[in-house]
């Protein structure tokens, strides 16, 4: 079957799923621009909550298992290394809408919620890693915060894990990179891996950056629950970046 783009905020997604009649649906569509979610709250709700509800109810109707990709931003960041048992308390609209999406999915008979963190990899749209590479390659100085900790996740690595969790799992899992790191240290590792100028990277605090949406200071995730369930090893930052570099060299 050929790929088809479907707007999950419309009834077309219901018709599409009923026509395809899949056994498993991996739902990774989302409005993920955190600052933009703060400005466009209705759109964020339409995609992350209402769209997810359409998919959820349709999956229940056709008997499909739903795998929902969620986020570390459902937490307030006061603790870090969160487990699946920790209480959610999002500090921005993006996190709130994703948590509401989780609630719709958790009402199903057959589901997986997979929370992940700072996805990166080669893609036409910029992510944190490709943005840092682009800026430094062009000689642009960048300011990166030192006080926001996450578990960056290679998208390819996550994809492999989701396929396994979709078959073997049920319920809530944290599926993220295996290393807790702050954004500044992450940016320096990107620069080192791709042999770029680290002097262009300046450390700053979150307060200095003055972002529209508040960010959790430490939303790192524990992967102890999911690790025994999957064969794929969740990579640390160096391993993930090296995988990206090898792919780049293969395509030269």
Q: Which CATH superfamily is domain 12-250 in?
A: NAD(P)-binding Rossmann-like Domain (3.40.50.720)
Mean pLDDT for the chain? 96
| Per-residue pLDDT at 180 exceeds 80 | yes
CA dihedral 29, 34, 38, 42 (to 10 degrees): 0
Q: Enumerate the H helices of the chain as residue ranges.
A: 12-20, 34-39, 41-45, 52-62, 93-106, 128-137, 155-168, 183-193, 206-209, 237-250
pLDDT confidence of residue 24: 98
Q: What percent of the chain has pLDDT over 70?
A: 99
Residue 204: strand pairing partners: 145
Could you tell me the pLDDT band of residue 137, with boundaries at 50, 70 and 90? Answer: very high
Marked catalytic residue, from 16, 68, 82, 94: 94
Q: List the one residue out of 128, 28, 116, 119 whose CA is nearest residue 75.
A: 116
Is 184 a residue of the active site? Answer: no
Instruction: State residue 144's pLDDT score.
Output: 97
Task: Report pLDDT for 252.
Answer: 64
- 1, pLDDT greater than 60: no
**pLDDT, tens digit (0-9, with 9 covering 90-100), for 187-219:** 999 999 999 999 999 999 999 988 899 999 999
Query: What pLDDT does residue 2 have?
Result: 61
Residues 127-153, mean pLDDT to the nearest whole number: 97
No. of H helices and E strands in the chain? 10, 10
Query: In the chain, where are the structural domains located?
Result: 12-250
Tell me the pLDDT tens digit for each residue of 7-43: 999 999 999 999 999 999 999 999 999 999 999 999 9
Dihedral angle at the C-alpha atoms of 34, 36, 42, 45, nearest 10 degrees?
Answer: -20
Query: Is this structure's pTM higher than 0.85?
Result: yes
Concatenated DSSP letters for 117-155?
-SEESS-SS--HHHHHHHHHHTT--EEEESS-EE--EEH
pLDDT value for 3: 74
């Amino acid at each position: 079957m050929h790929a088809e783009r479907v707007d999950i905020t419309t009834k077309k997604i219901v018709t599409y799923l009923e026509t395809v009649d899949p056994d498993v649906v991996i739902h990774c569509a989302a409005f993920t621009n955190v600052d933009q979610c703060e400005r466009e709250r209705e759109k964020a709700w339409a995609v992350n909550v209402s769209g997810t509800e359409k998919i959820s109810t349709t999956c229940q109707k056709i008997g499909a298992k739903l795998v929902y990709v969620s986020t570390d931003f459902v937490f307030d960041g006061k603790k870090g290394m969160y487990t699946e048992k920790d209480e959610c308390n999002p500090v921005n609209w993006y996190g709130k809408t994703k948590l509401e999406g989780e609630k719709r999915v958790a009402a199903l008979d057959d589901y997986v919620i997979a929370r992940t963190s700072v996805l990166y990899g080669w893609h036409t749209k910029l992510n944190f890693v490709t943005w840092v590479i682009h800026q430094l390659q062009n000689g642009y100085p960048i300011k990166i915060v030192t006080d926001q900790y996450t578990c960056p996740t290679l998208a390819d690595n996550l994809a492999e894990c989701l396929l396994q969790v979709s078959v073997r799992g049920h319920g809530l899992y944290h599926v993220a990179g295996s290393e807790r790191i702050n954004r500044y240290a992450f940016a320096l590792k990107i620069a080192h891996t791709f042999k770029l100028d680290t002097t262009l990277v300046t450390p700053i605090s979150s307060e200095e950056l003055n972002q529209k949406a508040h960010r959790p200071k430490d939303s790192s995730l524990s992967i102890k629950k999911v690790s025994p369930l999957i064969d794929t090893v969740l990579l640390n930052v160096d391993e993930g970046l090296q995988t990206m570099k090898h792919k780049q060299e293969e395509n030269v």
